[in-house]
Amino acid sequence: MIDDKQTQKKAKKALISLISTVVIGGFCFAWQNKSQIAEAELNGLFLGPNQDELVILQKNSLAHISNPTDPQPEVIQKISVIITAYSSTIQETDDTPYVTAAGTMVRDGIVANNYLPFGTKIRIPELYGDKIFVIEDRMNWQKSNYHFDIWFPSYNEALNFGAKRTYVEILE
């Protein structure tokens, strides 16, 4: 805990002036609402002297803070689609199963589609809520433009996902 009252006052003043995160002497001071403070308590984070306003995290630990200058992306189109799944196996991909068509490594949140450009962000609300996926891979050329393929880390997970008819939200 920081004993220096002057340092605490400086941090609080910086927070009040809408600076979302201030690092002083290896400590991170972050503006929090009550629900974020409760979450921090559950996760074992140390709360500062004024528990309604500050969460103090040591060294390089950070808590997620929503940023009002970076609002949720706007939905520009909703389309009805078929969603399937794939994994990094030779029978489901080409001879470079861990590299996407965009040249990136496969990872959670990667989707293959032949219609939308690389980097397009989408959501699949009925299946994944607010999770954002990114188009970074392509499918067999015979697949429809309205067919999306979600990457999974294992063949069994992809197989268990099956095929689903739903809609996707294309984000700006």
Tens of pLDDT along the chain (172 residues)? 445 666 666 555 544 443 334 444 444 445 445 555 555 545 444 444 444 444 444 544 444 455 566 677 899 999 999 999 999 988 877 778 899 999 999 999 999 999 999 999 999 999 999 999 999 999 988 899 999 999 999 999 999 999 999 999 999 8
Domains and CATH numbers, the chain: 5-58 (no CATH), 75-171 (2.40.40.10)
Please, is 71 exposed, middle or buried when counting C-beta atoms within 10 Å of its C-beta (0-12, 13-18, 19+)? Answer: exposed
Phi-psi region of 44 (alpha: psi -120 to 50; beta: other; left: phi over 0): left
Q: What is the pLDDT of residue 70?
A: 62
Q: What is the pLDDT of residue 169?
A: 96
Q: What is the pLDDT of residue 69?
A: 63
Beta strand extents in 16-144 (DSSP E only): 21-24, 27-31, 54-58, 75-86, 110-112, 121-123, 132-137
DSSP state of 23: E
CA 76 to CA 79: how far, in whole Å? 10
